[in-house]
Amino acid sequence: MTIEDQQAGTGWDEIDLADRNLVRGGAEWNSELYRIATTQFDKAADILDLDQEARARLREPRRCLTVNFPVRMDDGRVCNFTGYRVQHTLTMGPTKGGIRFAPGVSEGECAALAVWMTWKCALLGLPYGGAKGGVRCDPNHLSDDELERITRRYASELIPIIGPDRDIPAPDMGTGEREMAWFYDTYSQMMGHAVPEIVTGKPPVLGGTEARKAATGLGVVYVAEAVGERTGHPLREQRVVVQGFGNVGGTAALELHAIGAKVVAVSDYTGGIRADDGLDVPAVHAWVEEHRTLEGCPLGDPVGRAEVLEVPCDMLIPAALERQITEDNAKRLDCKTIVEAANGPTTPEAEAILAERGILVVPDVLANAGGVTVSYFEWVQDQQKYLWDLIEIQERLRRLLRGAFSQVAETATELGVDWRTAALSVAVKRVAEAARWRAIYP
Ligand code: NAD
């Protein structure tokens, strides 16, 4: 189909569904992660027999703002940084998604992560479309002052497209409560009054919610518990490996330890440690609090950054970054279940190998949805100026995640598909239906 055909509104009938290039549009989102996100979407869309119009509307992000801005470094030099904010769909309400500070941040990476946010919110029934943003930088090599200047300038650059009813950022890799506080303050300074509902994941004293920091890791454990019940292997009897010991992985490991599961290996970007009898996770956590990384941690035997994924266990929880389980290592993994705490840790090629080997993959859009769910609670509380207590938040989180879990497991059985395709089918169907009702403007 030519551009002229598209503009004239003709030619859709000629689209060959097998030739994805015809509906791919521009190459602006191109990245390995976006390829993975669209491969997963196509699979669910095929299962749903989604019509061409809906596919075209949902397959690509609606908006992307690219910003490039100068920041004065501590030594007086000025460095330019590039940042993005991608909004996938505006159909479901305001958009919602994290902000990532990492060296690999790109438009294509943000696009894929925004798409996943849409499915995650739709699966949990949250009134948001997906968004994601970030700044290409290495927070490990920036001072606190430099990070503050980057965060504040990036926040001010995003003003044209964000707002409590437009797009609400949250933490992701490399950002946390502190960055959200700076973001909130910058936005509020520019508006002339406090707007706590502009970001979630803020410190509780600023209108954040007690449970948000731990929510993603806690949610991972709630979902892992439900998997254990369904497979007849209670979580407390399982041996677990956790890759990544940051906000999500660190919290999940602590929680797993607390309920009696054996955490036999953990890792971060410097490497990992293992102990076949189970690590003393609170002690490891205290070590990382003090030393920032696991490097040199004497509380287990050292294990390489890549090898940690192959340590024998019942449950593997990738909680670091994307594309960790690939066709290169999928054959060697020694686990029964993978619970995806990170976004996009498994490539489609690896997933095919894992399916053949009978390894159950619990997809990211379900497993790590605890973060955005509690973010939603925080946003609701900020808007109502009425705070819920911790027990209420945890109970609501558990109930929503368990509800989504049952839907995914039942859909997988009903359709005879893997859990990711089942989760995406539920989500894509909801968003497609909403888009159909809202129709096309004008
Ligand atoms: P974080 O920055 O707090 O922690 C990331 C951890 O991964 C760190 O321990 C880091 O050292 C480690 N890591 C980095 N590269 C690694 C490598 N090659 N091998 C092993 N470990 C490595 O980030 P986070 O917030 O915990 O996010 C982790 C993942 O969870 C990301 O995929 C993120 O998108 C996803 N996620 C986060 C949230 C949230 O609320 N923070 C919500 C949903 C999903």
- With both helix axes pointing from N to C terminus, report the angle between 144-158 and 177-191 in degrees, rounded to the nearest 10: 50
| Nearest CA, atom 31, ligand 1 | 342
| Nearest CA, atom 29, ligand 1 | 342
- State residue 210's pLDDT score: 81
Q: How far is CA 338 from the centre of its chain?
A: 16
Q: Across the strands, what pairs with 170?
A: 98
CA–CA separation, 275 and 270 (whole Å): 17
On whether the CB atoms of residues 250 and 289 are closer than 8 A, the answer is: no
Query: SS in 3 state form for 245-273?
Result: CCHHHHHHHHHHHHCCCEEEEEEECCEEE
Residue 181, ligand 1, Cβ within 6 A: no
Residue 244, ligand 1, Cβ within 6 A: yes
| Nearest CA, atom 28, ligand 1 | 320
Residue whose C-alpha is closest to residue 259's, from 242, 235, 223, 243: 235
Residue 268, ligand 1, Cβ within 6 A: yes
- State residue 26's pLDDT score: 56
- The secondary structure element, H or E, covering residue 361 is strand 360-362
- State residue 25's pLDDT score: 56
Q: Across the strands, what pairs with 268?
A: 271
Residue 173, ligand 1, Cβ within 6 A: yes
Residue 342, ligand 1, Cβ within 6 A: yes
CA–CA separation, 225 and 237 (whole Å): 11
Instruction: State the distance from the centre of ligand 1 to the C-alpha of 402, rounded, in angstroms.
Output: 23
On whether the CB atoms of residues 342 and 368 are closer than 8 A, the answer is: yes
Instruction: State the distance from the centre of ligand 1 to the C-alpha of 318, rounded, in angstroms.
Output: 9
Instruction: State the distance from the centre of ligand 1 to the C-alpha of 247, rounded, in angstroms.
Output: 7
CA–CA separation, 124 and 427 (whole Å): 8
Return the ligand 1 atom nearest residue 368 CA: 43
Return the ligand 1 atom nearest residue 113 CA: 34
φ, ψ of residue 209 in degrees (nearest 5): -115, 140
Instruction: State the distance from the centre of ligand 1 to the C-alpha of 319, rounded, in angstroms.
Output: 6
Instruction: State the distance from the centre of ligand 1 to the C-alpha of 245, rounded, in angstroms.
Output: 7
- With both helix axes pointing from N to C terminus, report the angle between 419-438 and 52-59 in degrees, rounded to the nearest 10: 100
Residue 130, ligand 1, Cβ within 6 A: no
| Nearest CA, atom 43, ligand 1 | 368
Instruction: State the distance from the centre of ligand 1 to the C-alpha of 100, rounded, in angstroms.
Output: 10
Mutate to test the pocket of ligand 1, among 109, 135, 173, 212 (most ligand atoms within 8 A of CB): 173
- State residue 237's pLDDT score: 97
- With both helix axes pointing from N to C terminus, report the angle between 348-356 and 32-48 in degrees, rounded to the nearest 10: 60
Residue 136, ligand 1, Cβ within 6 A: no
Return the ligand 1 atom nearest residue 170 CA: 40
Return the ligand 1 atom nearest residue 102 CA: 2
Instruction: State the distance from the centre of ligand 1 to the C-alpha of 177, rounded, in angstroms.
Output: 15
| Nearest CA, atom 30, ligand 1 | 342
Q: Which of 132, 213, 336, 429 is catalytic?
A: 132
Q: Across the strands, what pairs with 80?
A: 70
Asked if 213 is an active-site residue, the reply is no
- State residue 213's pLDDT score: 87
Residue 38, ligand 1, Cβ within 6 A: no
CA–CA separation, 290 and 311 (whole Å): 26
Q: What is the pLDDT of residues 110-119, one digit of tens each?
A: 999 999 999 9
Residue whose C-alpha is closest to residue 421's, from 410, 434, 403, 408: 408
Burial 99-120 (b: 16+ CB within 10 A, else e): bbbbeebbbbbbbbbbbbbbbb
Mutate to test the pocket of ligand 1, among 128, 248, 267, 289 (most ligand atoms within 8 A of CB): 248
Q: If you ran DSSP here, which 8-state letter would residue 70 be given?
A: E
CA–CA separation, 441 and 73 (whole Å): 46
Mutate to test the pocket of ligand 1, among 105, 212, 216, 374 (most ligand atoms within 8 A of CB): 216
Backbone torsion region of residue 20, taken as left when φ is above 0, otherwise alpha when ψ lies between -120 and 50, otherwise beta: alpha
- Segments of the chain with pLDDT less than 50: 1-18, 20-23
Give 206: exposed, middle or buried? Use CB within 10 Å, 0-12, 13-18, 19+. Answer: middle
Q: If you ran DSSP here, which 8-state letter would residue 172 be given?
A: -
